[in-house]
Amino acid sequence: DTAVSQTPKYLVTQMGNDKSIKCEQNLGHDTMYWYKQDSKKFLKIMFSYNNKELIINETVPNRFSPKSPDKAHLNLHINSLELGDSAVYFCASSQGNRKLFFGSGTQLSVL
């Protein structure tokens, strides 16, 4: 069983389109996250959701909107995609001990 699963693994799209990335965790964790990894491999947190409540939003453009229908899911919706949005997006979850369990990543390419 995959602990944190995200889909799709690859996403290629045109500028201006709207796309979503889905994430699910079966670990029973209370907190889920979205991280962005840029071309230089730098990992930066975008969002954190704790029990379906947004905890932090690290100056991410409002074109990015996390949506959490329940505490096992945290989807990322992106409007009006731009070239600079091309990156690898990682979903993660944690509980208490702060060890993050990461999904396998979604490589987004905006053409």
Partner 1 sequence: AQKVTQAQTEISVVEKEDVTLDCVYETRDTTYYLFWYKQPPSGELVFLIRRNSFDEQNEISGRYSWNFQKSTSSFNFTITASQVVDSAVYFCALSDLSGGGADGLTFGKGTHLIIQP
Binding segment (CB under 8 A) for partner 1, from list 18-26, 66-74, 75-83, 90-98: 90-98
Q: Which of 53, 95, 88 is nearest to 74 (CA)?
A: 53
- Runs of H (alpha helix) within 1-111: none
Going residue by residue from 25 to 64, which x/- string records binding to partner 1, judged by CB under 8 A?
A: -----xx-x-x----xxxxxx--x-x----xx--------
Rank residues 16 and 67 by Cβ distance to partner 1 and give the closer one.
67
Side-chain-side CA neighbours of 35 within 13 Å: the count stands at: 17
The sign of the torsion formed by the CA atoms of 13, 18, 82, 55 equals negative
Going residue by residue from 6 to 25, which x/- string records binding to partner 1, judged by CB under 8 A?
A: --------------------
Q: Does residue number 89 form part of the binding site for partner 1 (CB under 8 A)?
A: no
- What is the rounded distance in angstroms from the CA atom of residue 105 to the CA atom of residue 38? 12
Tell me which residue has tokens 């889909």: 7
- Chain residues binding partner 1 by CB under 8 A are 30-31, 33, 35, 40-45, 48, 50, 55-56, 88, 90, 92, 94, 96-102, 104-105, 107
